Structure 1
Amino acid sequence: MSLHVRTHGDGPAVLWIHGYTMDSSVWEPLWGLLPGWRHVGVDLPGHGRSRPLRPGTSLPALAAELAELARAERATLVVAESIGSMIALQLVIDHPGDVRGLVVGSPTIAGAPAEPGTAGRYRTLAGLARMGVDGERLADVWMAAPPDIFRGTERHPELRARLRAIVARHSWRELRDGSMYGLSKHVHTVDDLRGIRARTLVVVGVEDMPGFRASAELLRGSVPGCGVITVPDAGHLCMIERPAVVAPVIGGHLRAATREVQHADS
């Protein structure tokens, strides 16, 4: 397997899946607030230290690769944010026996309408990347609002600077060679969502973009037993914007999912 993994702590394993242009290091402040777990952060293909995303890779194929990683790490709990949540949803849809507890922040449902301005931003970034524009400039273009993906980080200067440094290292190869678009062809149906059996919690920022708040409500109404927590004073990247607020909620959900597994196995 050619995906880079970083781990932290001891205890039941939790797989963490980050958002686009980031890497697993974004989770470290949250991990420090969640002792008692073995946190397993994966760098997605094309991100951090992992191998590039292969052209033509589908969302189910990527989810299958992460399911294999989860089995290897004995992780039956998954936490994901933004585009990582789309991959996590596919994982629990296609591999229902592998994940018992799921937390999705800034929920991204495959096939849902994109926020206004997002498609144009991707086209701009792809053009600049093909021209060889440096990573610092690409990071500034990507993090500019609208769309309001990073707007919530403006009230957290240290976090924003740290994220900018991570984004500036991103290769953007998936836009230059078109491999990113293979993931966008898939669609999550309501029937897909209704079939999810993992204990599911959705975390969404009060100030997140309308499409993501709508996705949170769709998951609430479709996934059996799904709970939704709204984070005050938080935007799209709610879990890394306000780790101290979300940590107790995430921890409680993971503990409840673990108890269910233990009860089922006893």
Structure 2
Amino acid sequence: MPEGLHLHRTGSGPAVLWIHGYTMDSTTWQPLWDRLPGYTHIGVDLPGHGGSAPLSPGLTLPALAGQLADVLKETGARSVVALSFGSMSALQLAIQEPSSLDRLVLAAPTLAGTPNEDSARVRYQQLAMLYRMVGPGEQLADLWMQSPPDIFTGTQRHPALRAALREVVARHSWAELGNRAMDTLTAHRHTPEDLRRITARALVVLGDEDMPAFVRNAELLRDTVPDCRLETLKETGHLPLLERPEACAELIAAHLS
């Protein structure tokens, strides 16, 4: 197993690799896993998240995808489900190792090198300033979960989910704000030519209330990846897999089968 990556395994059956969003970890997947019996669910904590080692300032997106490819080989997983920031590494994995994947699920998809929401960029700058002042903890979690950007807005309909996510985000180390490790990881760029190399059958899941940048990403994937279907969920925000686990479990089960 790649050194420094923490895996959370549960269940039995065909293996599926799950990649979480920024400031989260693999514990956030449990409600979906409970609704998807018959699989071995393997949640990976990305570098700098959960139980994994800190994010190295020199780690590139292709190098991270290489680590995830090793996880696929060692676990036998040939399907990947990824959310938001996690979908960036899942896409790179599908581009870089097309023969390793049969099924790909991308929710609120993030493409490397595409324009982000202006409000998200401003919030990240604010987080870096607050981190220098007070360090990690609940203040950063509360600032990160404010709107705009509308990353967590959809969780306001689901108070228990929002409280659980706040606990996870409050545990995040935020070390990448101090060493600028995210700069190298996000410097990569996904081109349409890259996306056309994906051979896995892809499902993109989007909330109808998601931010415009992610709507554009979803439509680009639908129109560019050779075998790709887009499903939009009503009254759903940026975190559809977490906000709507029942509906998403049905979509994922059908896609994986």
TM-score by length of 2: 0.98
Whether the aligned pair in 1 keeps the contact of 2:136 and 2:174 (CA below 8 Å) is no
The match for 1:217 among 207, 219, 223 is 219
Instruction: Tell me the secondary structure at the aligned position of residue 32 of structure 2.
Output: helix
CA drift at 1:70: 1.4
How far apart are 1:132 and its partner, in Å? Answer: 2.8
Question: How big is each residue's C-alpha offset from its partner over 1:135-183, in whole Å with a ceiling of 9 and x where there is no partner?
Answer: 1110000000001000000110000000000000100001111101111
Q: Choose which of 149, 166, 169 in structure 1 pairs with 2:168.
A: 166
Are 1:112 and 2:80 an aligned pair?
no
Distance 1:70 1:134 in 2: 32
> Would you say the 8 A contact 2:20–2:82 is kept in 1?
yes
Which residue of the partner structure matches residue 201 of structure 2? 199
Report the Cα offset of residue 96 of structure 1. Answer: 0.8
Alignment correspondent of 1:232? 234
The answer (yes or no) to whether the contact 2:200–2:227 under 8 Å persists in 1 is: no
> 1:185 is paired with a residue of what secondary structure?
coil
Paired amino acid for 2:152: F
| Aligned-partner Cα distance in 2 for 1:184–1:117 | 17
Residue 80 of structure 1: how far off its partner (Å): 0.1
Structure 1 range deviating more: 86-95 or 133-142:
133-142
Amino acid aligned to 1:172 = W
Determine helix, strand or coil for the equivalent of 2:4: coil
Residue ranges of structure 2 left out of the alignment (5+ in a row): none
Q: Within 5 Å, give how 1:1-266 maps onto structure 2.
A: 1-255=3-257
Within 2, Cα distance between the matches of 1:181 and 1:232? 34
The 3-state SS of whatever aligns with 2:116 is coil
Deviation at 1:134, TM superposition (A): 4.5
What is the Cα deviation at residue 214 of structure 1?
1.0
Cα separation, 2, equivalents of 1:150 and 1:38:
28
Q: How much has 1:249 moved relative to structure 2?
A: 0.7
Q: Give the number of aligned pairs.
A: 255
In 2: Cα distance, 1:101 partner to 1:175 partner: 33
TM-superposition CA deviations, 1:20-75 (whole Å, max 9, x none) = 00000000000000011000001110000100011121111111111111111111
Which amino acid counterpart does residue 244 of structure 2 have in structure 1? R
Percent identity reads 56
2:162 aligns to what SS in structure 1? helix
Structure 1: 5+ residue stretches without partners: 256-266
Checking the alignment, whether the CA contact within 8 Å between 2:206 and 2:233 is kept in structure 1 is: yes
**CA–CA separation in structure 1 for the residues paired with 2:114 and 2:69:** 23
Cα distance in 1 between the residues matched to 2:256 and 2:25: 22
Return the alpha-carbon distance in structure 2 between the equivalents of residues 40 and 28 of structure 1. 11
**1: CA distance, partners of 2:135 / 2:182:** 19
Distance 1:163 1:252 in 2: 27
Aligned-partner residue type, residue 36 of structure 1: G
The amino acid that maps onto 2:256 is L
Amino acid at match of 1:9: G
Tell me which amino acid in the other structure corresponds to 1:33.
R
Q: CA deviation at 1:133?
A: 3.7
1:262 is aligned to: none
